[in-house]
Copies of this chain bind each other. A is one copy, B any other.
Amino acid sequence: MNTEEDPENKRKHIVMLGAGFAGLEFCKAMKDVPVRVTLIDRQNYHLFQPLLYQVATAGLAAPEIARAVRAIFTEYPNVTTLMDEVTSVDLRSREVHCKEHTLTYDYLVIGLGVKTGYFGHDEWAKDAPGLKTLDDAMAIRRNVLLAFERAEMCEDPEEKRRLMNIVVVGGGPTGVEMAGSFAELSRRVLKKDFRRTDTAEAHIYLVEAAPRLLGMFDEKLSEYTRRHLEKMGVTVKLNSPVKRVEDDVVEFGDETVRAANVIWAAGIKAPELTSKLGVETDRAGRIKVNQDLSIPGHPEVFVAGDIAACIDAKGRNVPGLCPAAMQMGRHAAKVIANEVEREILLQPQPKEREAFSYFDKGSMATIGRSAAVASSMGLKFTGFIAWLMWLFVHLMFLVGFRNKLAVLLQWFYAYIHYQRGARIITGLEKIEKLPVKL
């Protein structure tokens, strides 16, 4: 790994932490820049996170929303992929420490993303798993499908109800998408296949602390979403902050529900690494950045994606969304490429770097079969039109030709037949003891 000491190689070395949307866009934008880029991720794949809920709800297979990072950068000879886990960054000595290696850098871009946050209640994590990784999604899929199988074998009506209760905490896009998808799963997909159990009696709760769902959207869209979810059979609980999660008991508002499956889609938290950098972070641990996305005092270190607490050139808080992460990755690449090229050409560096300006193309969330909400450039869309927009946008962004076609095919088939292609319970052998709740 001592390539940086290789006298043959005088190119600047850039370390990109994280192969999420920011990392991918950054590396792609550096394609023709005379630098060496090392892309580090603890997984070997890039994950298309916006569709992760589809894996959790048995709609898609894991490989359909993930692609090997190496395969993405086959044609990028200046990009080297390293599968390793970053343990700390020493900003002074410009070193990145991973579990297996230590690398030095000329420029560093931190794009590590965020984890599920429990608002100071990390003890809830074991009973209310979040949805951030493929393993999370497959664990949720396993536990939900298993709960229905157990319900089918169960003769005690109360226990049966508990097994079929699903509580989704958090009324943002992920929570809405999951609740809608679970409602369809129980009311449409599974209903015809169980003999002793009416799976349509499953209670899907969507619990939100705020007075409305999808807080970042217009109130009309929030209201449309609530009504549509309720029509689908979801029990929407607004103004209901969660007070306790313990084993299979969830307390929210004035209610206490026992549920075999509690899923947390409510908060985010930056990885611990950020607290050890010695730089300013916000309450969620996200790194506060300058307008050019660099860390104050460290012009050679950039932060991009969800892990950045960024106020852009127009004074807006940049949201934790894919398009924002992609734009930030490209912005960091542009600034670095400009400096590197000027240095090579012996041109003077500009006095001030360009500030990042977020281009808000709009937001969208899907609710269920042929219903979604979208807002873009001041326009609002609901229902089938919004759903088609959602479908189109997500397919366009899916990395890799194969995935696009395979996913489209699955969706089309599922749409016609109310089927789910990934209704399999895997990983049973690895579980020494099944979760207490099941």
Q: Count this chain's copies in the assembly.
A: 2
- The answer to whether the Cβ of A74 comes within 8 Å of any Cβ in the partner chain is yes
A277 within 8 A of B: no
Which of A188-196, A332-340, A365-373 is the contact stretch?
A: A188-196
User: Are B193 and A149 in touch, CB under 8 angstroms?
Assistant: no
A313 CB contacts on chain B under 8 angstroms: none
B45/A424 in contact, CB under 8 A = yes
- Contact size range, A: 35 or more
Contact check, A402 vs B424: say whether CB atoms are below 8 A apart: no
Question: Which residue of the partner chain, among B61, B83, B405, B413, contacts A63 with CB atoms under 8 Å?
Answer: B61
Looking at the complex, which one of B42, B74, B192 makes contact with A192 (CB distance below 8 Å)?
B74
Interface of A is mostly: mixed
The answer on a CB contact under 8 Å between A424 and B62 is yes
A155's nearest neighbour on chain B, judged by CB, is: B1
User: Which residues of chain A from 130 to 163 have any CB-CB distance to chain B below 8 Å in the complex?
Assistant: 133-135, 138, 145-146, 149, 152-153, 155
**Complex CA–CA separation, A134 to B61 (angstroms):** 13
The CA of A152 and the CA of B80, in the complex, are separated in Å by 10
Q: A424's contact among B134, B424, B427, by CB below 8 Å, is which?
A: B134
A-B contact pairs, 29 of them (CB 8 A): A1-B153, A42-B428, A43-B425, A61-B61, A61-B62, A61-B63, A62-B426, A63-B421, A67-B423, A68-B424, A70-B193, A70-B194, A71-B423, A74-B192, A80-B196, A81-B193, A82-B152, A83-B152, A83-B153, A83-B425, A134-B426, A135-B427, A135-B430, A138-B426, A401-B413, A402-B409, A402-B410, A402-B413, A430-B430
Please give me the 10 A-B residue pairs with the lowest Cβ-Cβ distance, nearest first. A70-B193, A61-B61, A63-B422, A68-B423, A61-B63, A45-B424, A83-B149, A135-B429, A402-B413, A66-B424
Chain A residues engaging chain B, CB cutoff 8 angstroms: 1, 42-45, 61-64, 66-68, 70-71, 73-74, 80-84, 100-101, 133-135, 138, 145-146, 149, 152-153, 155, 190, 192-196, 401-403, 405-406, 409-410, 413, 419, 421-430
